[in-house]
Every structure is written in structure tokens, then in C-alpha cells.
Amino acid sequence: MNERELEDAVSRLPKRIEPPRDLWPGIEARIAASRSWRRRWYWVPLAAAAALVFLLLARAERSAWDVTALAGRPLIGTTRLAASGRLRVGDWLQTDDSSRALIAVGRIGQVEVRPDTRVQLVVARANEHRLALARGTIDAKVDAVPRLFFVETPAGTAIDLGCAYTLETDSLGKGLLHVTAGEVEFQSGPRSSRVPLGAVAQIRPTGPGTPYVDDAPAALVRALVAFDFERGRGGGARATRTILALARPQDALSLWHLLQRVDPSLRGVVYDRLAALVPPPPGVTRRGAIALESRALEGYWTRIQRIHFRIMVLRGVREIDPRTGLAKPRVLSVP
């Protein structure tokens, strides 16, 4: 076949070849699908915008806590709270001498705001709930894993470890932390106090004092306050000696804190007194405790805390040996 014959053959090729089957149904279906998709895509930006608005609103809602007026008409910002309202991040809630309010702490607890209190919602996230207590008194009840709820005060931060407590402060940072369930850590810079249920910590602008049980003898409390806040006025060694002399086994939690706060030269006598009141658990050595090794301190704290909890939980039910945490045998009276 030469070039010319090929050209002739090509020129005779049909311009149309009908498809062997009707392709229209497939085309129609794809067009319908394309229309459907177009319709859907057309709505995508709107749907996305709506979703964004919804998320922002939801986030805004989540970043606000419910507030209920318990008495009087507390203020949220400059607005009087009639019955209930929302406290948003950044908002201040203020009660006067005759008003009280209840704040729902997200979904993990609640805070009762007592009269003459000023509190601000600082953070309202699922993993962090944070209030600032400028002055006044709050009663907090939290049912959550530790370190989800924080209250900042002028003197430091109360860190919830799963508990209920009352926290009061003045605008300068002088106040009191009284824990009624669980445990709270009050932190101020490098200084912190662990306050378990049934214990109290005085707070000053310089930080938290040494915690003590709420039925501690008044003389012991005075000595602790002197030690913590009046060292320049003889609160150091003399207060330490007083504390050691007055301490009972149930005051071990105070001595455990004291061990870390006294002058290093006094740590030995503090440890010895503590060990005499509540023997250390196995593995905790005198040298380790005096060197403030965290392993020794944590081991000792665990023991003290366990005994303390047993005493508190079983108070009025069983008499617990404050040295060991074991229940004392019942003495049966013989008629």
C-alpha cells in the first residue's frame, strides 16, 4: 500500500461511529450526581461557616459557668444577678455583705461565694478550671481528678487534689485554708503546703504556713504561726522547740512540713521527734529525710497522710492509733 492508497482509505473512514450501547443513562446518572454534589458543595462554605459559628458559640458557652444567686443580688461585672446567669472568662462576680452566689465549676464541682467576696473566672477549659479570689471567702467542692481546679489568691494558688475546702483571703493575701475533704495543695512560689481534710493552713502574703489539724492545741497553732510568719521576732529556733514539745502523733503532718522549713541545723531534731511520734515507713532513712530527698519525704508523707485520713474518716466511729493508723482494740466494759 502506498501513500496515496492510505490517504484514500483514511478519507473513506466514517466520521461517525455509533456507540455499541446507549451511553446516555450513564451520562444522565453522572450529571445528576454532579448536580447533587454541586448542590452539596454549594452548601459547604455555608455549612462550614455555620459549624464555625456553632463551635464558637459552644466554646463560648463552655467558657462560661452558671451562677445562681443564693441570697441578695450579686454582681457579674456591672450587672445585678437576679436569679441565675453566666460567668464568662474574664468576668468578675462580686457579693456584698448580704449576697451569696453559687458557681457551677464546669461539670466538676461548685463554689459557693460568701458575702463580701470578689472572684473572677480566669480559665474555663475541660482540663483547667481556674478562679481568682481577690478577697472574701469561698467554699469549694470538687469531684474530679487532682489538679483540675485552681483558685488564685493574692498570696498563692490553691490546687485541688480532689476535695472540699473553704478558702478565705483579704486583698493583701492574708487568709486561711480549711480543708474538709480530700486534700489541697497551696502553692506560693517555691513554697507549698499540703493540707489534707481536717487540716488548716494559715496564709500570708509571703505564702502558706505550716498546716495543722483543726483540733490542734492553741499553743501549738500559735507556735506554728510564730515559726511561719514571725521569725524575725524569735519565731525560729524557739518556736521550733515549742512545736516539737507540743506536737502529738496526730500533728505529724505539721512536723513533716516543719522538717523542710527549719534551719538545716534543726532538721535532725525535727526528724527525731517526728519519727518518735510516727515511725517512718520502711525505706525511709533519717539521712534521706534530713537531706530532703524527695523519695524519703514522699514515702513518709504517704504514711502520715494514710494515718491522718483514717483518723479523720473514722473520727467518732473508731479510735485510731495516731502512731500506726491501726484501730485501737475496743475495751469492753464488764458489768
Partner 1 sequence: MPPPAPAADLVARAQAGDQTAFRELYREHAGRVYALCLRLTGDGRDAEERTQDVFVRLWDKLRTFRGDSAFSSWLHRLAVNVVLNERRTTGRRERRVMPTEDPDNVVGAQHAAPLHGSAGLSIDLERAIAELPDGAREVFVLYDIEGYAHGEIAQLVGIAEGTSKAQLFRARRLLREKLER
Q: Is 128 a residue that touches partner 1 (CB under 8 A)?
A: no
CA 94, CA 79: separation in Å to the nearest integer? 10
Binders of partner 1 among 9-48, rule CB under 8 A?
9-10, 12-21, 23-24, 26-28, 30-31, 34
- The window from 5-13, 69-77, 103-111, 149-157 that contacts partner 1 (CB under 8 A) reads 5-13
Pick between residue 21 and residue 330 the one whose CB is nearest to partner 1: 21
Write a three-state SS string for 25-52.
HHHHHHHHHHHHHHHHHHHHHHHHHHHH
Least distance in angstroms from the C-beta of 40 to partner 1: 16
Query: Which triple of cell numbers denotes residue 40?
Result: 452539596
Give burial (CB, 10 Å; 0-12/13-18/19+) of 48: exposed
- Interface mask toward partner 1 for 242-271; x: CB under 8 A: ------------------------------
CA 191, CA 189: separation in Å to the nearest integer? 5
Q: How many residues of this chain bind partner 1 (CB under 8 A)?
A: 25
Q: Label the pairing between strands 100-105 and 92-94.
A: unpaired
| Angle made by CA atoms 159, 164, 167, in degrees to the nearest 5 | 65
Pick between residue 40 and residue 59 the one whose CB is nearest to partner 1: 40
Least distance in angstroms from the C-beta of 16 to partner 1: 3
Pick between residue 18 and residue 97 the one whose CB is nearest to partner 1: 18
Least distance in angstroms from the C-beta of 47 to partner 1: 22
Pick between residue 2 and residue 265 the one whose CB is nearest to partner 1: 2
Query: Which triple of cell numbers denotes residue 263?
Result: 534551719
Pick between residue 32 and residue 276 the one whose CB is nearest to partner 1: 32
Least distance in angstroms from the C-beta of 45 to partner 1: 20
Least distance in angstroms from the C-beta of 31 to partner 1: 5
Pick between residue 6 and residue 313 the one whose CB is nearest to partner 1: 6
CA 67, CA 81: separation in Å to the nearest integer? 9
CA 50, CA 34: separation in Å to the nearest integer? 24
Pick between residue 20 and residue 335 the one whose CB is nearest to partner 1: 20
With beta carbons less than 8 A apart as the criterion, state whether 161 and 147 touch.
Answer: yes
CA 175, CA 205: separation in Å to the nearest integer? 9
CA 136, CA 148: separation in Å to the nearest integer? 22
Least distance in angstroms from the C-beta of 48 to partner 1: 23
Pick between residue 10 and residue 218 the one whose CB is nearest to partner 1: 10
Least distance in angstroms from the C-beta of 28 to partner 1: 7
Residue (of 30, 21, 104) closest to 68 by Cα position: 104
- The window from 2-10, 86-94, 272-280, 292-300 that contacts partner 1 (CB under 8 A) reads 2-10
Task: State the helix-helix crossing angle for 252-261 and 267-277, rounded to 10 degrees.
Answer: 160
Least distance in angstroms from the C-beta of 63 to partner 1: 45
With beta carbons less than 8 A apart as the criterion, state whether 87 and 106 touch.
Answer: no
Binding site for partner 1 (CB under 8 A): 1-3, 6-7, 9-10, 12-21, 23-24, 26-28, 30-31, 34
